[in-house]
Amino acid sequence: MQFGIFSVSDITQDPTTGKTPSEHERIKGWVAMAKKAEEVGLDVFAAGEHHNPPFFSSSPTTTLGYLAAQTERLILSTATTLITTNDPVKIAEDFAMLQHLSDGRVDLTLGRGNTGPVYPWFGKDIRDGIELAIENYALLHKLWHEPVVNWQGKHRTPLTGFTSTPAPLDGVAPFVWHGSIRSPQIAEQAAYYGDGFFHNNIFWNKEHTERMVKLYRSRFAHYGHGEPEQAIVGLGGQIFMKPTEREAKERFRPFFDVAPVYGHGPSLEDFTEMTPLTVGTPEQVIERTLGFRDYAGDYQRQLFLVDHAGLPLEEVLEQIEILGTEVVPVLRREFDAVRQDGVPDAPTHAARVAAAREAGTQLGEQGNAWTEQGARTDFDTGAAIARQAGE
């Protein structure tokens, strides 16, 4: 199982000091966070993508390329890459290049984005969000699995005899997680391709998370990729730790109360009751996180948000230190002890290359069976299933 941290890249005033970090400070802070994550034994650093204040991460591939040169073992990912407003050709090129620079230590999480104005900034219409996610990934997948691509769709100019360069490292594309909080069509998309499904459940109750993950697992099996338990699932989480619960709540409460996303709403106690946010001791974080398995089943990746709401960098680094030295070792041991037989490990480049060689599915050896008509039927079916389940 892989453990790591992710960031949405917000620039928020520290309510306890009145200080707001500069863009430069926050960008350099990401570098420090990634280095600390590797130092304490975490597996993944994931960078968000936003194109509007108060966020700074408009070019996560640039950041991850720099971090590839600053680290040796850390998997570099995104949280998320906007499949709706980015050109799939550029995504294919950028992440294949990152694969080579990092020697395979890169994957990505695709998402639609939750900021409406972003769409027209890149010449798109938010009302086409689901269609763009479906069509753009169909093209991206094709670019990474066929050496020469001829393609025509609704939302982009056609391609004729196009070859994406560089080719994926070792003929195996970066692993793709499809990230969604609320869209059953995206869970369906992940299942269709046999890709990973990442449910960032930091704002939702466990019942909602359970429904989304179950939908993905059932459709993963429907498409013949394996049993539901063999589907590749990732979850988000949100934590703040101190030696005692009282200390943790006293320190974190001012940040929570004015946080841009959930501040001025439910109390800290109500929010932690309703969502996976855990504010307390390392032992409480361990207990809460182990409980995710009760409703999500055995899963492969757990990422934690630790740097939001104006928390100063020194405190963020302390949280990463505690996570890596006190929390994750216990989580690894406990999750491994109860994992069912047959549940696959978290995806790595080396393992996927070995599997592709055995199956003969490296780039150029097998075409892409995706069709627009078939996809639309499948996604409509998935949406209907989700509605019946109460989504």
Copy the structure tokens of residue 307: 């740097």
Handedness of CA 160, 161, 164, 165 (dihedral sign): negative
Closest by CA position to 134, among listed 387, 391, 370:
370
Q: Encode 105-128 in three state secondary structure.
A: CEEEEEECCCCCCHHHHCCCCHHH
Give average pLDDT by consecutive 10-residue segment, the chain, 391 residues.
Answer: 96 96 97 98 96 91 97 96 95 98 97 81 90 96 97 95 97 96 93 96 87 97 98 97 98 93 87 94 98 97 96 98 98 97 96 92 48 41 41 42
What pLDDT is stored for residue 52 in this prediction? 87
Q: What is 2-388's CATH topology?
A: TIM Barrel (3.20.20)
Strands 159-162, 149-151: parallel, antiparallel or unpaired by DSSP?
Answer: antiparallel
Contact assessment for residue 308 and residue 30, using Cβ atoms and an 8 Å cutoff: no
Domain ranges of the chain: 2-388
Supply the pLDDT for residue 382: 43
Residue 364 backbone dihedrals phi, psi, to 5 degrees: 90, -10
- For residues 202 and 275, the answer to whether their CB atoms sit within 8 Å is yes
Determine the longest span between alpha carbons in the chain, in angstroms. Answer: 63
CB atoms near residue 34 (< 10 Å): 28
Burial class (CB in 10 A: 0-12, 13-18, 19+), 385: middle
